[in-house]
Amino acid sequence: MVRIDAGGEFRGTGFFVAPGEVITCAHVVHGRGEVVVEWSGRRLPATVAAAVPDLPADDPAARFYPLPDVALLRLAETLHHPCVGLDLAEPVTGPPPEILEEASFRAARAGVDATLPDDAGRMRPVAELLDELVELVRPSARALGCEGPLEGLFDLLAQGGGAGLQRDAAGDRGDTGAVVARLVACAMEDGVARSSSD
């Protein structure tokens, strides 16, 4: 992974896909002037070799950069560095946008009690989807030595997520003061847990 500065400020990240070539999102470098890639302690000038879509610098569409939002950067010099292998297969598209909008609404309203669409568009409980997703990423998390935090997702699910904690705090009376107090207490607990682990 590399750091990308554009126009004199940090803009995002990318990764090497070929000797001296980096893939990033097009919005990271769009209309920003000088591009610098930082890797392994070195700052290397780069040019935007291609962007898709390739929008003019003043195009208002760039405010919410359209997909696929990808850019290829070419370094001024070639280094010895690792590269990420890209697959030639077409990406999985997932559910259509209207299903995702509905899923977003359901998740915001029902939290972890929601039913959401899977990749095939079938409505399934969040708990089922989370279990499958955790099992999918568990081998990578284990290899990176960060498998423990995955279990916290199941704790959150058991508590009913943030919405469940707020509903419990509000009780039958809908006491918003109790909700705020609970959120502050959770934030304080989180802050104490983080400072003690540092």
Q: Does residue 114 surpass a pLDDT of 70?
A: yes
For residue 110, pLDDT beyond 80: no
Would you say residue 38 has pLDDT above 90? yes
* Separation in Å, CA 152 to CA 3, 127, 149, 156: 30, 13, 5, 6
Confidence (pLDDT) at 15: 92
Closest C-alpha to 159, from 151, 168, 150: 168
Going along the chain from its start, the domains and CATH numbers come out as: 2-75 (2.40.10.10), 97-170 (no CATH)
Residues paired with residue 34 on neighbouring β-strands, in sequence order: none
Q: Which of 52, 63, 58 is nearest to 25 (CA)?
A: 52
What's the predicted TM-score (pTM) here?
0.48
Helices marked H in the chain — which ranges?
A: 26-29, 97-110, 126-144, 148-159, 161-170, 176-197
Q: Is the pLDDT of residue 82 over 70?
A: yes
